[in-house]
Amino acid sequence: MILSEKTRAAAAEAERRLAGLFSAIDETARAGTERVLDVFRKERVSESMFMPTTGYGYGDVGRDAIDRIVAGVFGAEAGFMRPALISGTHALTVGLFGLLRPGDVLLSVTGAPYDTLRPVIGMDGADGSGSLADFGVRYAEVPFAPGGGFDWDGIAAALRGEGERVRVVYFQRSKGYLDRPTLRVSEIAEAIRFVRAHAKNAPFFVVDNCYGEFTEETEPCAVGADLIIGSLIKNPGGGMADVGGYLCGTRRAAELAGNRLCCPGVGLDAGASLGQNRNMLRGLFYAPHTVAQALKTAHLAAYLFAEAGFSVNPGPFERRSDIIQTVSLGSPELLCRFCEGIQSASPVDAHVRPVPSPMPGYADEVIMAAGAFVGGASIELSADAPLRPPYTVFLQGGLTYESGRLGVMRAYESVMDAVGAQKNGK
């Protein structure tokens, strides 16, 4: 791969400076792998669990074991991980429709949700599309405090105002397309305690856990979350799952979500695995290590672009609770150059040039660099961004640090070449 000696030297210096953080990331991966293997051993994972089923899928021992395994790995009473869940948004939709009823209030305490969840909630009003608003569920949100962190007074006021109608308190752990800090598990725990002390009833606590799995040694179920939800083409699929999602939590919350995935009376007792069990289990096994590779890639990007004078979040030496790295590039041209650099180092479609285009569920045009083995898999190295100021790119993933490193170096060189050309008036 053609890279200048200057870029290679900058990456080598970054790695020397980040060595201590890389060691800590590896330690978290070791703990996560041990946790996964303990659960695999308890559930006696064997070749027989990989056999595919069709039709109703009755008697699929692998599917049933996977449900128990994902619950055990995430410290939950119950849960399920199924190929029928096509995305994180789909999994969240199943969970929210499973728990909420007409007249209920869905209260987000982390501000506005990710773009693709807006139509699911019906944030623009009931429109007959089948949103939660169409079924009489009302949405309320409390933005983060101006200085960052939870707005405790705002949350208390919302709980007083909505009273017993608040059935679900919702947390988006990751930043989504917002330039704000990702929530640590300890911060989620503090907020759950606060809500319990101020709520007039006992709401369900739901956490959009996408991008956060295995970045810490504990998951939100351990601190009181009733349901955590995510996608297998992100962290927990380990780059091996072809499709799928998971929902884990208390037995009652998982049961209600399972009824919505299938139907009441059948719940989680059916559902053909269609040959996906092997890849889902293999992905869960790989996940702690793969997430570590993605975290190292993110730290490297943060260091290089911060040194070049760009605003990055998190900073290069900050510990992370998700795999997303943002770089505010300041212009559409530099944003596109960044994504072109990532794409050019991808194992798939490296010859393709990403361009901004409309995307379902997004208000702005979006540019995506994603040369992935699995379509849309953001645990594989990818970069995407809505075309709106301050033209912030969202980088995530990296199946191996070695490949992620090359992608970041290509993006860095592509951007710096453009910056140099601008300075020279070309």
- The pLDDT tens digits for 297-317 are 999 999 999 999 999 999 999
- For range 249-261, the mean pLDDT: 98
Give percent of the chain with pLDDT exceeding 90. Answer: 92
Q: Does domain 51-275 fall into CATH 3.40.50.10860?
A: no
For 380-415, how does the pLDDT look when each residue is reduced to its tens digit (9 = 90+)? 999 999 899 999 999 999 999 999 999 999 999 999
Neighbours of 336 (CB within 10 A): 24
Spatial CA neighbour of 342 closest among 310, 362, 370, 300: 370
Classified as helix, coil or strand, 426 is: coil
Greater model confidence, 368 or 2:
368
> pLDDT at position 373, please?
95
pTM for this predicted structure:
0.95
Average pLDDT over residues 283-289: 98
Q: With beta carbons less than 8 A apart as the criterion, state whether 315 and 327 touch.
A: no
pLDDT of residue 178: 77
Q: Give mean pLDDT, residues 36-55.
A: 96
- State the pLDDT at residue 179: 72
- What lies within 8 Å, CB to CB, of 145 at 6+ separation is 151, 152, 154
Q: What is the pLDDT of residue 423?
A: 82
What pLDDT sits at residue 402?
Answer: 97
Other beta carbons less than 10 A from residue 56's beta carbon:
13
pLDDT digits (tens, 9 = 90+) for 256-275: 999 999 999 999 999 999 99
pLDDT tens-digit series, residues 137-164: 999 999 999 888 999 999 999 999 999 9
- Residue 43's pLDDT is 97
- Report how far Cα 221 is from the mean position of its chain's Cα atoms: 16
Is residue 366 within a helix (H) or strand (E), and if so which, with residue range? Answer: strand 366-369
Confidence of residue 175 (pLDDT cuts 50, 70, 90): confident
In the structure, what pLDDT confidence band is assigned to residue 426 with cuts at 50, 70 and 90?
A: low
pLDDT at site 411: 98
Of 334, 281, 217, 374, residue with least CA distance to 40 = 281
pLDDT tens-digit series, residues 179-221:
788 999 999 999 999 999 999 899 999 999 999 999 999 999 9
What local confidence, expressed as pLDDT, does residue 177 receive? Answer: 75
**Contacts with 426 (C-beta within 8 Å, 6 or more apart), sequence order:** none
CATH number for region 5-32+285-423: 3.90.1150.60
Q: Is the pLDDT of residue 375 over 70?
A: yes
Q: Is 213 helix (H, G, I), strand (E, B) or coil?
A: coil
Q: What's the CA gap between 176 and 339, in Å, rounded?
A: 18
**How many Å apart are CA 254 and CA 268, to the nearest integer?**
9
Q: How far apart are CA 112 and CA 357, in angstroms?
A: 23
Q: Please tell me the number of Cα atoms within 13 Å of 366 on its side-chain side.
A: 16
CB 134 within 8 A of CB 127: yes
Q: Which of 283-297, 299-313, 362-376 has the lowest mean pLDDT?
A: 362-376
pLDDT at 2: 85
Q: Is the pLDDT of residue 53 over 70?
A: yes
Looking at residue 176, its pLDDT comes to: 77
In sequence order, the β-bridge partners of residue 166 are 105
Domain ranges of the chain: 5-32+285-423, 51-275
pLDDT per residue as tens digits for the range 314-351: 999 999 999 999 999 999 999 999 999 999 999 999 99
